[in-house]
Amino acid sequence: MTELLDDFENEDPFATAGLRLTVDLTALTENWKDMARRSGRARAAAVVKADAYGTGIEDAGEALYMAGARDFFVATVDEGVTLRLYAPDARIFVLSGIWPGTERRFFENDLVPVISSEEQLAFWMAVLSEYGDYPCALHVDTGFNRLGLAMDEAIALADDVSRPASFAPVLVMSHLACSDDPSSPINRHQLESFRRVSAAYEGIDSSLAASGGIFLGSDYHFDLTRPGISMYGGEAVSGMTNPMRPVVTAEARIIQVRTANAGQSVSYGHSVQLKRDSRLAIVSVGYADGYMRSQSSTGVPLRQSVPQGGQAFIAGRTVPIAGRISMDMTIFDVTDLPENAVRAGDYVELFGKNVAVDDVARAAGTIGYEILTSIGLRHERRYVVDDESDAI
């Protein structure tokens, strides 16, 4: 009995998991370094919001910090508090800004709030009057109409001699709405608007470009760039061959391989009728794991770009989804593989080096960002470096 318990204790959870997620930290840091080189004279920050785009803010944040990143962007104060443990002397900007009751967490963890509205600005001025000098960033809207102070308001604030001396922004920033489309005239319009803002805050760092903006060229780089999706291997620019290394590989175990006859139907709604005798692999992944139902081969609306649905990779080739994806299971048609090439217990690659995450996204009618940030909690994670030579 003791020997049996010892065997259980030594069991590798990754080897036995129904869902596996491998994060290549070497690829992640090399992608960041690539974007830093493309940023020219500007420093490159690292955007690690949404749990580092689903890869894990602790491991990804530490790897990026060790690679040299010293400016980070998170969405919430909770993310900033977590990241501080792994990036001890980095500047960490919190994009959602500061709210009443969160001041202590900002100060204790040396987090920099990004001020994006009149209400936040008024509250921040009150905080400074009570606590004294503390850095912040100003987010200015140059045409996105999401977050940001109005341009006229931001420029007037820069010239306001009555503003408190303790109000000293360390960064002024904006965000491009169409950077994934280099031909969009909106990019140039926002650039010219941001130049006006940047000039008003002379001597203070400026930041406009996220991943797509970096590819637009040096005019958009200013002092600090903010690569995000590109670091994680996703496409930042539509219609351009993606130069980034894949970072995340998602795999799922085959529960059963079954045969079905021509004329029979598959999965919910019987929306697929088999045209030939088929072999079907039932795989332990579904929309509860972020494997979106909209990838189903049929029976779902709103998808046009990839009407046949999604694919996975196994035994050296891609295989299509058959029927509708359900909560915990997806069916793949493996008829065209050699009969002994696939068996229960094998793993299929959902996305990774052989199936690009953005191809999965297109099949689902969405973008790579959503696929990565929708990864469910049931994936057993493994972190590797040096092209999987060492696991973490």
Give the catalytic positions in this structure.
49, 268
Taking CA atoms, 284 is separated from 16, 252, 344, 362, in Å, by 12, 6, 11, 22
**8 Å CB contact between 53 and 373:** yes
| Pairwise CA distance, residues 200 & 197, whole Å | 5
**8 Å CB contact between 26 and 387:** yes
**8 Å CB contact between 23 and 381:** yes
DSSP 166: T
| Pairwise CA distance, residues 202 & 199, whole Å | 5
Angle between helices 151-158 and 185-200 (to 10 degrees): 20
| Pairwise CA distance, residues 44 & 72, whole Å | 9
DSSP-based three-state secondary structure for 91: strand
Question: Measured in Å, how far apart are the chain's first and last C-alpha atoms?
Answer: 30
If you search the block for the tokens 């100060």, which residue do you land on?
107
Nearest 10 degrees: Cα torsion 30, 36, 39, 42: 180
**Segments in the chain forming alpha helices (H):** 2-9, 13-16, 25-38, 49-53, 57-67, 77-84, 103-108, 118-131, 151-158, 185-200, 211-215, 357-364, 368-373
Give just the sign of the alpha carbon dihedral 50, 51, 53, 58. Answer: positive
If you search the block for the tokens 């990839």, which residue do you land on?
306
**8 Å CB contact between 9 and 47:** no
- Cα–Cα nearest to 18, from 298, 353, 350: 350
